[in-house]
Structure 1
Amino acid sequence: MAKPIAVFTDLDGTLLNHHDYSYADALPAINHLKKQNIPLVLVSSKTQAEMSALCQELSLTSPYVCENGSLIVMPAPERQRLGVELENAEQQGDDFLIYRGANREEIVRILAQLKRTFSFTGFADMSVHDVVNCTGLSEQAAAKAMTRAASEPLLWHQDEADLADFAQHLRKHNLRVLKGGRFYHVMATCDKGDAVRYLLSLYESYYGARVASIALGDSPNDLQMLKAVDQSVVMPHPDGTYMHDDSLTNAIRAPFEGARGWREGVEEALAGLTEHEEAP
Protein backbone atom coordinates (compact mmCIF):
# COMPACT_ATOMS: atom_id res chain seq x y z
CA MET A 1 0.00 0.00 0.00
CA ALA A 2 1.26 3.48 -0.85
CA LYS A 3 2.40 5.57 2.10
CA PRO A 4 -0.37 7.93 3.29
CA ILE A 5 0.18 11.63 2.59
CA ALA A 6 -1.28 14.82 4.07
CA VAL A 7 -0.99 18.34 2.63
CA PHE A 8 -1.10 21.50 4.77
CA THR A 9 -1.36 24.94 3.24
CA ASP A 10 -1.43 28.63 4.02
CA LEU A 11 -4.03 30.67 2.14
CA ASP A 12 -3.29 34.32 1.21
CA GLY A 13 -0.47 34.48 -1.32
CA THR A 14 -0.23 30.69 -1.30
CA LEU A 15 -3.39 28.78 -2.26
CA LEU A 16 -5.13 32.11 -2.88
CA ASN A 17 -3.75 34.83 -5.14
CA HIS A 18 -2.50 37.82 -3.18
CA HIS A 19 -4.31 40.39 -5.35
CA ASP A 20 -7.73 38.83 -6.00
CA TYR A 21 -7.94 35.85 -3.58
CA SER A 22 -8.69 33.46 -6.48
CA TYR A 23 -7.89 29.73 -6.20
CA ALA A 24 -9.04 28.83 -9.74
CA ASP A 25 -5.57 27.92 -11.02
CA ALA A 26 -5.09 25.51 -8.10
CA LEU A 27 -8.25 23.47 -8.76
CA PRO A 28 -6.58 20.74 -10.87
CA ALA A 29 -4.20 19.92 -7.99
CA ILE A 30 -6.99 20.18 -5.39
CA ASN A 31 -9.12 17.75 -7.38
CA HIS A 32 -6.16 15.38 -7.75
CA LEU A 33 -5.69 15.33 -3.96
CA LYS A 34 -9.38 14.50 -3.51
CA LYS A 35 -9.19 11.63 -6.02
CA GLN A 36 -6.15 10.23 -4.20
CA ASN A 37 -7.87 10.62 -0.78
CA ILE A 38 -5.05 12.90 0.37
CA PRO A 39 -6.26 15.26 3.11
CA LEU A 40 -5.87 18.96 2.29
CA VAL A 41 -5.70 20.90 5.55
CA LEU A 42 -6.05 24.69 5.39
CA VAL A 43 -3.81 26.48 7.92
CA SER A 44 -4.21 30.24 8.08
CA SER A 45 -4.38 33.43 10.10
CA LYS A 46 -7.99 33.67 8.91
CA THR A 47 -10.97 33.19 11.22
CA GLN A 48 -13.27 30.21 11.57
CA ALA A 49 -16.03 32.09 9.74
CA GLU A 50 -13.76 32.80 6.77
CA MET A 51 -12.29 29.32 6.59
CA SER A 52 -15.59 27.49 7.03
CA ALA A 53 -16.95 29.35 4.00
CA LEU A 54 -13.86 28.49 1.92
CA CYS A 55 -13.98 24.81 2.92
CA GLN A 56 -17.61 24.70 1.78
CA GLU A 57 -16.67 26.31 -1.55
CA LEU A 58 -13.91 23.75 -2.10
CA SER A 59 -15.98 20.82 -0.74
CA LEU A 60 -13.26 20.01 1.80
CA THR A 61 -14.10 17.75 4.74
CA SER A 62 -10.67 17.84 6.42
CA PRO A 63 -9.98 19.68 9.66
CA TYR A 64 -8.69 23.23 9.34
CA VAL A 65 -6.52 25.50 11.46
CA CYS A 66 -7.54 29.10 12.17
CA GLU A 67 -5.78 32.18 13.53
CA ASN A 68 -2.22 30.89 13.09
CA GLY A 69 -2.76 27.72 15.12
CA SER A 70 -4.87 29.19 17.91
CA LEU A 71 -7.96 27.19 16.92
CA ILE A 72 -8.37 23.79 15.24
CA VAL A 73 -11.77 22.94 13.75
CA MET A 74 -12.58 19.26 13.27
CA PRO A 75 -15.80 18.56 11.34
CA ALA A 76 -17.86 15.87 13.07
CA PRO A 77 -17.89 13.50 10.04
CA GLU A 78 -14.07 13.64 9.85
CA ARG A 79 -13.78 13.01 13.59
CA GLN A 80 -16.03 9.98 13.18
CA ARG A 81 -14.04 8.73 10.17
CA LEU A 82 -10.75 9.05 12.02
CA GLY A 83 -12.24 7.48 15.14
CA VAL A 84 -10.42 9.88 17.45
CA GLU A 85 -11.24 11.28 20.87
CA LEU A 86 -10.54 15.01 21.06
CA GLU A 87 -9.50 16.20 24.50
CA ASN A 88 -10.90 19.56 25.66
CA ALA A 89 -12.90 19.98 22.45
CA GLU A 90 -16.02 22.15 22.36
CA GLN A 91 -18.83 21.03 20.06
CA GLN A 92 -20.40 23.77 17.93
CA GLY A 93 -23.05 22.45 15.57
CA ASP A 94 -21.37 19.87 13.33
CA ASP A 95 -17.85 20.94 14.32
CA PHE A 96 -15.53 20.25 17.23
CA LEU A 97 -13.39 23.25 18.26
CA ILE A 98 -10.00 22.82 19.91
CA TYR A 99 -8.76 26.11 21.38
CA ARG A 100 -4.99 26.30 21.76
CA GLY A 101 -4.51 30.03 22.26
CA ALA A 102 -5.42 32.97 24.46
CA ASN A 103 -8.83 34.61 24.52
CA ARG A 104 -8.97 37.56 22.11
CA GLU A 105 -10.62 39.82 24.68
CA GLU A 106 -7.62 39.35 26.96
CA ILE A 107 -5.22 40.04 24.08
CA VAL A 108 -7.05 43.28 23.20
CA ARG A 109 -6.98 44.36 26.85
CA ILE A 110 -3.19 43.89 27.01
CA LEU A 111 -2.71 45.69 23.69
CA ALA A 112 -4.73 48.65 24.99
CA GLN A 113 -2.19 49.00 27.79
CA LEU A 114 0.74 48.78 25.35
CA LYS A 115 -0.73 51.56 23.17
CA ARG A 116 0.61 54.01 25.74
CA THR A 117 4.12 53.04 24.63
CA PHE A 118 3.83 51.76 21.05
CA SER A 119 2.11 52.90 17.85
CA PHE A 120 -0.07 50.33 16.07
CA THR A 121 -3.63 49.85 14.83
CA GLY A 122 -5.41 46.59 15.64
CA PHE A 123 -8.62 45.17 14.22
CA ALA A 124 -10.30 46.25 17.47
CA ASP A 125 -9.51 49.85 16.43
CA MET A 126 -10.84 49.42 12.88
CA SER A 127 -14.25 49.54 11.26
CA VAL A 128 -15.35 47.09 8.58
CA HIS A 129 -14.63 49.84 6.03
CA ASP A 130 -11.06 50.18 7.36
CA VAL A 131 -10.45 46.43 6.94
CA VAL A 132 -11.89 46.55 3.42
CA ASN A 133 -9.41 49.32 2.54
CA CYS A 134 -6.47 47.37 4.03
CA THR A 135 -7.28 44.03 2.44
CA GLY A 136 -9.40 44.52 -0.66
CA LEU A 137 -11.99 42.14 0.79
CA SER A 138 -15.72 42.66 0.34
CA GLU A 139 -17.60 44.09 3.32
CA GLN A 140 -19.08 40.66 4.07
CA ALA A 141 -15.67 38.98 3.94
CA ALA A 142 -14.09 41.75 6.03
CA ALA A 143 -16.76 41.28 8.71
CA LYS A 144 -15.89 37.57 8.84
CA ALA A 145 -12.20 38.45 9.13
CA MET A 146 -12.97 40.58 12.18
CA THR A 147 -14.83 37.77 13.99
CA ARG A 148 -11.78 36.50 15.85
CA ALA A 149 -11.51 34.18 18.85
CA ALA A 150 -7.86 33.97 19.86
CA SER A 151 -5.67 36.49 18.01
CA GLU A 152 -5.50 40.15 16.99
CA PRO A 153 -4.07 41.38 13.65
CA LEU A 154 -2.46 44.80 13.66
CA LEU A 155 -0.69 47.33 11.47
CA TRP A 156 2.68 48.32 12.95
CA HIS A 157 3.62 52.01 12.68
CA GLN A 158 7.18 51.91 14.07
CA ASP A 159 10.48 50.36 12.97
CA GLU A 160 11.81 46.83 13.48
CA ALA A 161 13.86 47.76 16.55
CA ASP A 162 10.71 48.99 18.30
CA LEU A 163 8.92 45.81 17.22
CA ALA A 164 11.51 43.72 19.08
CA ASP A 165 10.83 45.76 22.22
CA PHE A 166 7.10 45.28 21.68
CA ALA A 167 7.61 41.51 21.38
CA GLN A 168 9.53 41.50 24.65
CA HIS A 169 6.62 43.20 26.42
CA LEU A 170 4.20 40.65 24.94
CA ARG A 171 6.29 37.75 26.23
CA LYS A 172 5.65 38.96 29.78
CA HIS A 173 1.99 38.13 29.12
CA ASN A 174 2.76 34.79 27.38
CA LEU A 175 1.94 36.34 24.01
CA ARG A 176 3.90 36.64 20.78
CA VAL A 177 3.80 38.65 17.57
CA LEU A 178 4.11 36.98 14.15
CA LYS A 179 4.54 38.64 10.76
CA GLY A 180 1.97 37.60 8.18
CA GLY A 181 1.41 38.64 4.59
CA ARG A 182 -0.47 41.87 5.36
CA PHE A 183 -0.56 42.18 9.14
CA TYR A 184 1.32 41.35 12.29
CA HIS A 185 -0.61 38.90 14.48
CA VAL A 186 -0.60 38.93 18.28
CA MET A 187 -1.50 35.58 19.80
CA ALA A 188 -0.52 33.02 22.43
CA THR A 189 2.74 31.12 22.11
CA CYS A 190 1.20 28.35 19.99
CA ASP A 191 1.80 28.38 16.23
CA LYS A 192 0.91 26.67 12.95
CA GLY A 193 3.60 24.04 13.48
CA ASP A 194 2.06 22.88 16.78
CA ALA A 195 -1.31 22.42 15.09
CA VAL A 196 0.20 20.55 12.14
CA ARG A 197 2.06 18.13 14.41
CA TYR A 198 -1.11 17.50 16.40
CA LEU A 199 -3.14 16.72 13.28
CA LEU A 200 -0.38 14.52 11.86
CA SER A 201 -0.51 12.47 15.07
CA LEU A 202 -4.26 11.93 14.53
CA TYR A 203 -3.75 10.86 10.92
CA GLU A 204 -0.91 8.51 11.86
CA SER A 205 -3.09 6.93 14.54
CA TYR A 206 -5.82 6.41 11.93
CA TYR A 207 -3.54 4.97 9.25
CA GLY A 208 -1.39 2.99 11.68
CA ALA A 209 1.65 4.23 9.77
CA ARG A 210 3.83 7.27 9.39
CA VAL A 211 2.20 9.93 7.21
CA ALA A 212 4.34 11.73 4.62
CA SER A 213 3.63 15.44 4.88
CA ILE A 214 3.79 18.50 2.62
CA ALA A 215 3.26 22.14 3.60
CA LEU A 216 3.11 25.33 1.54
CA GLY A 217 3.54 28.90 2.78
CA ASP A 218 5.08 32.27 2.04
CA SER A 219 5.47 34.23 5.29
CA PRO A 220 7.33 34.06 8.62
CA ASN A 221 4.14 32.92 10.35
CA ASP A 222 4.32 29.80 8.13
CA LEU A 223 7.87 28.90 9.13
CA GLN A 224 7.10 26.50 11.98
CA MET A 225 4.55 24.70 9.79
CA LEU A 226 7.10 24.35 6.99
CA LYS A 227 9.64 22.96 9.46
CA ALA A 228 7.13 20.42 10.83
CA VAL A 229 6.71 18.48 7.57
CA ASP A 230 8.76 16.24 5.28
CA GLN A 231 8.58 18.50 2.22
CA SER A 232 8.15 22.25 2.45
CA VAL A 233 7.18 24.46 -0.48
CA VAL A 234 8.05 28.15 -0.16
CA MET A 235 5.89 30.48 -2.22
CA PRO A 236 7.25 33.72 -3.72
CA HIS A 237 5.99 37.10 -2.61
CA PRO A 238 4.26 39.33 -5.20
CA ASP A 239 7.62 41.06 -5.83
CA GLY A 240 9.26 37.72 -6.68
CA THR A 241 11.33 37.41 -3.49
CA TYR A 242 11.16 34.40 -1.16
CA MET A 243 11.18 34.07 2.60
CA HIS A 244 14.57 32.63 3.59
CA ASP A 245 15.47 30.46 6.55
CA ASP A 246 18.57 28.28 6.83
CA SER A 247 16.54 25.44 8.37
CA LEU A 248 14.55 24.90 5.16
CA THR A 249 17.35 23.04 3.45
CA ASN A 250 15.22 20.86 1.15
CA ALA A 251 12.47 23.38 0.40
CA ILE A 252 10.93 23.56 -3.04
CA ARG A 253 10.59 27.10 -4.39
CA ALA A 254 7.32 27.47 -6.24
CA PRO A 255 7.84 29.35 -9.53
CA PHE A 256 4.80 31.61 -9.20
CA GLU A 257 2.90 33.42 -6.47
CA GLY A 258 -0.59 32.25 -5.54
CA ALA A 259 -2.79 29.55 -7.01
CA ARG A 260 -0.72 28.82 -10.13
CA GLY A 261 2.47 28.41 -8.15
CA TRP A 262 0.59 26.38 -5.53
CA ARG A 263 -0.53 23.88 -8.15
CA GLU A 264 2.99 23.44 -9.49
CA GLY A 265 4.47 23.26 -5.99
CA VAL A 266 2.03 20.53 -4.93
CA GLU A 267 2.69 18.56 -8.12
CA GLU A 268 6.47 18.73 -7.63
CA ALA A 269 6.24 17.81 -3.94
CA LEU A 270 3.98 14.81 -4.64
CA ALA A 271 6.26 13.63 -7.42
CA GLY A 272 9.27 13.87 -5.10
CA LEU A 273 7.57 11.85 -2.36
CA THR A 274 6.53 9.20 -4.90
CA GLU A 275 10.06 8.95 -6.32
CA HIS A 276 11.50 8.64 -2.81
CA GLU A 277 9.02 5.86 -1.98
CA GLU A 278 9.82 3.96 -5.18
CA ALA A 279 13.61 4.28 -4.84
CA PRO A 280 15.32 0.93 -4.07
Structure 2
Amino acid sequence: MDKHYIIATDLDGTLLDHSTYKFHKAVPALEYCQQQDVPIIFNTSKTYAETEHLCRVLDNNHPFIIENGSAMYIPKDYFAKELDSDIERFDAGAYWLYKFGLNRNEILSRLTRFAKTQSFQYQGFSTMTTRELCRCTGLSLPKAAEAKERQFSEPLLWLDNSENQASFAKHLKLLGLNVIKGGRFVHVLGQSDKAKPLEYLKRLYELNSGSEHTLIALGDSANDKAMLETADIAVVIESPAHQDPVIDIHPHLIRSRFQGPIGWNETVLDILQR
Protein backbone atom coordinates (compact mmCIF):
# COMPACT_ATOMS: atom_id res chain seq x y z
CA MET A 1 0.00 0.00 0.00
CA ASP A 2 1.29 3.47 -0.88
CA LYS A 3 -0.94 5.31 1.56
CA HIS A 4 -0.44 5.48 5.31
CA TYR A 5 -3.57 4.41 7.18
CA ILE A 6 -4.78 4.57 10.76
CA ILE A 7 -7.81 2.50 11.75
CA ALA A 8 -9.86 3.69 14.73
CA THR A 9 -12.57 1.33 15.84
CA ASP A 10 -15.35 1.04 18.36
CA LEU A 11 -15.46 -2.33 20.10
CA ASP A 12 -18.90 -3.52 21.30
CA GLY A 13 -21.15 -4.13 18.29
CA THR A 14 -18.38 -3.21 15.86
CA LEU A 15 -15.18 -5.23 16.18
CA LEU A 16 -16.83 -7.35 18.89
CA ASP A 17 -20.16 -9.11 18.41
CA HIS A 18 -22.98 -7.25 20.19
CA SER A 19 -24.23 -10.36 22.04
CA THR A 20 -21.19 -12.64 22.42
CA TYR A 21 -18.36 -10.05 22.51
CA LYS A 22 -16.34 -12.34 20.20
CA PHE A 23 -14.04 -11.02 17.46
CA HIS A 24 -12.93 -14.19 15.64
CA LYS A 25 -14.88 -13.37 12.45
CA ALA A 26 -12.70 -10.27 12.03
CA VAL A 27 -9.40 -12.16 12.34
CA PRO A 28 -8.52 -12.13 8.59
CA ALA A 29 -8.68 -8.32 8.49
CA LEU A 30 -6.88 -8.01 11.84
CA GLU A 31 -4.03 -10.19 10.56
CA TYR A 32 -3.86 -8.28 7.29
CA CYS A 33 -3.53 -4.98 9.17
CA GLN A 34 -0.72 -6.45 11.25
CA GLN A 35 1.09 -7.65 8.10
CA GLN A 36 0.73 -4.22 6.48
CA ASP A 37 1.73 -2.27 9.64
CA VAL A 38 -1.64 -0.51 9.81
CA PRO A 39 -2.23 0.53 13.44
CA ILE A 40 -5.61 -0.36 14.90
CA ILE A 41 -6.68 2.09 17.58
CA PHE A 42 -9.39 0.91 19.96
CA ASN A 43 -11.69 3.88 20.61
CA THR A 44 -14.27 2.65 23.05
CA SER A 45 -16.57 3.33 26.00
CA LYS A 46 -14.80 0.49 27.82
CA THR A 47 -12.43 0.98 30.75
CA TYR A 48 -8.64 0.82 30.81
CA ALA A 49 -8.75 -2.68 32.33
CA GLU A 50 -11.09 -4.03 29.65
CA THR A 51 -9.29 -2.39 26.74
CA GLU A 52 -5.74 -3.17 27.83
CA HIS A 53 -6.78 -6.81 28.32
CA LEU A 54 -8.11 -6.97 24.74
CA CYS A 55 -4.91 -5.37 23.46
CA ARG A 56 -2.94 -8.19 25.07
CA VAL A 57 -5.29 -10.86 23.66
CA LEU A 58 -4.94 -9.46 20.13
CA ASP A 59 -1.22 -8.60 20.46
CA ASN A 60 -2.12 -4.98 19.71
CA ASN A 61 0.70 -2.71 20.90
CA HIS A 62 -0.79 0.53 19.64
CA PRO A 63 -2.37 3.47 21.53
CA PHE A 64 -5.97 3.14 22.70
CA ILE A 65 -8.74 5.54 23.76
CA ILE A 66 -11.13 4.73 26.60
CA GLU A 67 -14.40 5.85 28.16
CA ASN A 68 -15.75 7.68 25.09
CA GLY A 69 -12.70 9.84 24.52
CA SER A 70 -12.05 10.76 28.14
CA ALA A 71 -8.47 9.48 28.09
CA MET A 72 -5.86 8.04 25.75
CA TYR A 73 -3.03 5.62 26.59
CA ILE A 74 0.10 5.61 24.43
CA PRO A 75 2.89 3.07 25.05
CA LYS A 76 6.09 4.75 26.20
CA ASP A 77 8.69 5.09 23.42
CA TYR A 78 5.92 4.66 20.80
CA PHE A 79 6.53 8.20 19.51
CA ALA A 80 9.86 10.02 19.50
CA LYS A 81 8.33 13.49 19.09
CA GLU A 82 5.61 15.14 21.19
CA LEU A 83 3.10 17.79 20.19
CA ASP A 84 3.22 21.20 21.83
CA SER A 85 -0.21 21.34 23.51
CA ASP A 86 -1.96 21.91 26.82
CA ILE A 87 -3.30 18.34 27.05
CA GLU A 88 -2.37 16.90 30.45
CA ARG A 89 0.00 13.91 30.30
CA PHE A 90 0.66 11.54 33.20
CA ASP A 91 3.01 8.63 33.81
CA ALA A 92 0.89 5.44 33.88
CA GLY A 93 3.44 2.66 34.12
CA ALA A 94 4.01 1.27 30.64
CA TYR A 95 1.96 4.09 29.10
CA TRP A 96 1.64 7.83 28.91
CA LEU A 97 -1.89 8.79 29.93
CA TYR A 98 -3.37 11.79 28.10
CA LYS A 99 -6.37 13.15 29.92
CA PHE A 100 -9.19 14.77 27.93
CA GLY A 101 -12.08 14.49 30.42
CA LEU A 102 -12.91 14.79 34.12
CA ASN A 103 -12.10 12.38 36.93
CA ARG A 104 -15.00 10.13 37.82
CA ASN A 105 -15.27 11.37 41.40
CA GLU A 106 -15.92 14.89 40.10
CA ILE A 107 -18.57 13.56 37.69
CA LEU A 108 -20.28 11.62 40.50
CA SER A 109 -20.17 14.68 42.74
CA ARG A 110 -21.93 16.81 40.13
CA LEU A 111 -24.48 14.06 39.43
CA THR A 112 -25.25 13.72 43.16
CA ARG A 113 -25.89 17.44 43.53
CA PHE A 114 -28.02 17.44 40.38
CA ALA A 115 -30.11 14.44 41.53
CA LYS A 116 -31.20 16.34 44.64
CA THR A 117 -33.10 18.84 42.48
CA GLN A 118 -34.34 16.57 39.64
CA SER A 119 -36.33 13.35 39.31
CA PHE A 120 -34.95 11.63 36.20
CA GLN A 121 -35.05 7.82 36.41
CA TYR A 122 -31.76 5.97 35.90
CA GLN A 123 -29.27 3.69 37.63
CA GLY A 124 -25.54 4.37 37.48
CA PHE A 125 -22.70 1.87 37.43
CA SER A 126 -21.55 3.23 40.80
CA THR A 127 -24.75 1.93 42.45
CA MET A 128 -24.87 -1.43 40.63
CA THR A 129 -23.46 -4.63 42.02
CA THR A 130 -21.25 -6.69 39.73
CA ARG A 131 -24.01 -9.29 39.41
CA GLU A 132 -26.55 -6.63 38.40
CA LEU A 133 -24.17 -5.47 35.68
CA CYS A 134 -23.80 -9.06 34.50
CA ARG A 135 -27.58 -9.26 34.03
CA CYS A 136 -27.63 -5.98 32.08
CA THR A 137 -24.76 -6.83 29.74
CA GLY A 138 -24.33 -10.59 29.54
CA LEU A 139 -20.73 -10.17 30.73
CA SER A 140 -19.06 -12.72 32.99
CA LEU A 141 -18.38 -11.71 36.60
CA PRO A 142 -14.68 -10.95 35.96
CA LYS A 143 -15.51 -8.92 32.83
CA ALA A 144 -18.27 -7.03 34.64
CA ALA A 145 -15.82 -6.21 37.44
CA GLU A 146 -13.43 -4.75 34.83
CA ALA A 147 -16.31 -2.73 33.35
CA LYS A 148 -16.99 -1.16 36.75
CA GLU A 149 -13.40 0.14 37.03
CA ARG A 150 -14.30 3.56 35.62
CA GLN A 151 -11.81 6.41 35.85
CA PHE A 152 -13.38 9.21 33.82
CA SER A 153 -17.08 8.51 33.24
CA GLU A 154 -20.30 7.15 34.72
CA PRO A 155 -22.51 4.95 32.51
CA LEU A 156 -26.22 5.00 33.33
CA LEU A 157 -28.94 2.45 32.68
CA TRP A 158 -31.64 4.82 31.47
CA LEU A 159 -35.05 4.00 33.00
CA ASP A 160 -36.90 7.13 31.82
CA ASN A 161 -38.35 8.05 28.42
CA SER A 162 -36.35 9.39 25.46
CA GLU A 163 -37.81 12.91 25.73
CA ASN A 164 -36.56 13.17 29.29
CA GLN A 165 -33.16 11.89 28.20
CA ALA A 166 -32.78 14.91 25.91
CA SER A 167 -33.76 17.22 28.77
CA PHE A 168 -31.33 15.43 31.09
CA ALA A 169 -28.48 16.03 28.63
CA LYS A 170 -29.29 19.74 28.37
CA HIS A 171 -29.32 20.15 32.15
CA LEU A 172 -25.99 18.35 32.57
CA LYS A 173 -24.36 20.44 29.85
CA LEU A 174 -24.89 23.44 32.12
CA LEU A 175 -22.85 21.58 34.74
CA GLY A 176 -19.97 21.03 32.31
CA LEU A 177 -20.89 17.41 31.62
CA ASN A 178 -21.39 15.67 28.29
CA VAL A 179 -24.07 12.97 27.83
CA ILE A 180 -23.44 10.42 25.08
CA LYS A 181 -25.78 7.56 24.16
CA GLY A 182 -24.01 4.26 23.61
CA GLY A 183 -25.26 0.86 22.50
CA ARG A 184 -26.57 -0.16 25.95
CA PHE A 185 -26.01 2.77 28.30
CA VAL A 186 -26.07 6.52 28.53
CA HIS A 187 -22.57 7.78 29.39
CA VAL A 188 -21.87 10.89 31.45
CA LEU A 189 -18.38 12.36 31.09
CA GLY A 190 -16.50 15.64 30.86
CA GLN A 191 -16.44 17.81 27.77
CA SER A 192 -14.84 15.26 25.46
CA ASP A 193 -15.90 12.72 22.85
CA LYS A 194 -14.30 10.03 20.70
CA ALA A 195 -13.06 12.57 18.14
CA LYS A 196 -10.87 14.84 20.28
CA PRO A 197 -8.15 12.38 21.35
CA LEU A 198 -8.27 10.73 17.93
CA GLU A 199 -7.55 14.02 16.16
CA TYR A 200 -4.63 14.57 18.56
CA LEU A 201 -3.33 11.07 17.90
CA LYS A 202 -3.47 11.50 14.12
CA ARG A 203 -1.37 14.67 14.46
CA LEU A 204 1.15 12.68 16.52
CA TYR A 205 1.42 10.00 13.82
CA GLU A 206 1.95 12.61 11.12
CA LEU A 207 4.48 14.57 13.18
CA ASN A 208 6.54 11.47 13.83
CA SER A 209 6.36 9.99 10.33
CA GLY A 210 6.58 13.23 8.34
CA SER A 211 3.73 12.08 6.11
CA GLU A 212 -0.04 12.40 5.91
CA HIS A 213 -2.23 9.57 7.17
CA THR A 214 -5.70 8.51 6.08
CA LEU A 215 -7.94 7.90 9.09
CA ILE A 216 -10.52 5.12 8.80
CA ALA A 217 -13.10 4.99 11.60
CA LEU A 218 -15.63 2.24 12.25
CA GLY A 219 -18.59 2.40 14.65
CA ASP A 220 -22.21 1.37 15.14
CA SER A 221 -23.69 3.66 17.83
CA ALA A 222 -24.58 7.27 18.52
CA ASN A 223 -21.47 7.64 20.69
CA ASP A 224 -19.37 6.95 17.56
CA LYS A 225 -20.82 9.91 15.63
CA ALA A 226 -18.04 12.40 16.42
CA MET A 227 -15.35 9.82 15.62
CA LEU A 228 -16.97 8.95 12.30
CA GLU A 229 -17.41 12.58 11.32
CA THR A 230 -13.73 13.42 11.93
CA ALA A 231 -12.46 10.44 9.90
CA ASP A 232 -11.32 10.57 6.28
CA ILE A 233 -13.26 7.36 5.66
CA ALA A 234 -16.26 6.68 7.92
CA VAL A 235 -17.67 3.16 8.19
CA VAL A 236 -21.05 2.62 9.86
CA ILE A 237 -21.36 -1.00 10.97
CA GLU A 238 -24.85 -2.45 10.80
CA SER A 239 -26.26 -3.13 14.27
CA PRO A 240 -28.79 -5.77 15.38
CA ALA A 241 -29.76 -3.73 18.43
CA HIS A 242 -30.35 -0.11 17.48
CA GLN A 243 -30.48 2.47 14.69
CA ASP A 244 -27.28 3.48 12.97
CA PRO A 245 -25.64 6.76 14.07
CA VAL A 246 -26.89 9.64 11.95
CA ILE A 247 -24.07 11.02 9.79
CA ASP A 248 -25.43 14.03 7.92
CA ILE A 249 -22.69 14.90 5.43
CA HIS A 250 -19.45 13.02 4.84
CA PRO A 251 -17.24 12.88 1.73
CA HIS A 252 -16.49 9.17 2.12
CA LEU A 253 -19.18 7.29 4.03
CA ILE A 254 -19.51 3.50 3.84
CA ARG A 255 -22.25 1.35 5.37
CA SER A 256 -21.37 -2.28 5.98
CA ARG A 257 -23.42 -5.06 4.44
CA PHE A 258 -23.13 -7.22 7.55
CA GLN A 259 -23.29 -6.76 11.30
CA GLY A 260 -20.50 -6.61 13.87
CA PRO A 261 -17.15 -8.30 13.20
CA ILE A 262 -18.33 -9.82 9.90
CA GLY A 263 -19.08 -6.35 8.55
CA TRP A 264 -15.86 -5.02 10.11
CA ASN A 265 -13.78 -7.71 8.42
CA GLU A 266 -15.31 -7.30 4.96
CA THR A 267 -15.19 -3.50 4.96
CA VAL A 268 -11.62 -3.16 6.24
CA LEU A 269 -10.29 -5.67 3.72
CA ASP A 270 -12.22 -3.97 0.92
CA ILE A 271 -10.75 -0.54 1.75
CA LEU A 272 -7.16 -1.66 2.26
CA GLN A 273 -6.99 -4.11 -0.65
CA ARG A 274 -8.90 -1.97 -3.13
- Between the aligned partners of 1:186 and 1:218, the Cα distance in structure 2 is 19
Deviation at 1:239, TM superposition (A): 5.0
Matching of residue 168 in structure 1 with residue 170 in structure 2:
yes
2:32 aligns with 32
Gaps of 5+ in 2: none
1:15 aligns with 15
Matching of residue 83 in structure 1 with residue 85 in structure 2:
no
Deviation at 1:241, TM superposition (A): 4.9
Deviation at 1:115, TM superposition (A): 2.7
Matching of residue 67 in structure 1 with residue 67 in structure 2:
yes
1:128 to 127, 130, 134: 130
Amino acid at match of 1:164: A
Find the residue that maps to 1:53 and give its secondary structure. Answer: helix
Amino acid at match of 2:66: C
Normalised by the length of structure 1, the TM-score is 0.92
- Between the aligned partners of 2:271 and 2:11, the Cα distance in structure 1 is 18
Normalised by the length of structure 2, the TM-score is 0.94
Distance 1:242 1:81, change over 3 A: closer
Matching of residue 184 in structure 1 with residue 181 in structure 2:
no
Deviation at 1:114, TM superposition (A): 2.8
Find the residue that maps to 2:238 and give its secondary structure. Answer: coil
Alpha carbons 2:104, 2:153 under 8 Å: kept: yes
Percent identical among aligned pairs is: 39
- Between the aligned partners of 1:136 and 1:48, the Cα distance in structure 2 is 19
Deviation at 1:90, TM superposition (A): 1.2
Q: Could you report, residue by residue, the CA deviation over 1:33-66 in whole angstroms, capped at 9, with x for unpaired residues?
A: 0110111000000000000000000000100000
Deviation at 1:155, TM superposition (A): 1.1
Find the residue that maps to 2:258 and give its secondary structure. Answer: coil
- Between the aligned partners of 2:113 and 2:161, the Cα distance in structure 1 is 20
2:205 aligns with 203
2:265 aligns with 263
Structure with bigger helix share is 1
1:45 aligns with 45
Where does structure 1 differ by over 6 angstroms across 4 or more consecutive aligned residues?
A: none
Distance 1:173 1:7, change over 3 A: same
Deviation at 1:102, TM superposition (A): 0.7
- Between the aligned partners of 2:5 and 2:73, the Cα distance in structure 1 is 20
1:148-159 to 2 correspondence within 5 Å?
148-159=150-161
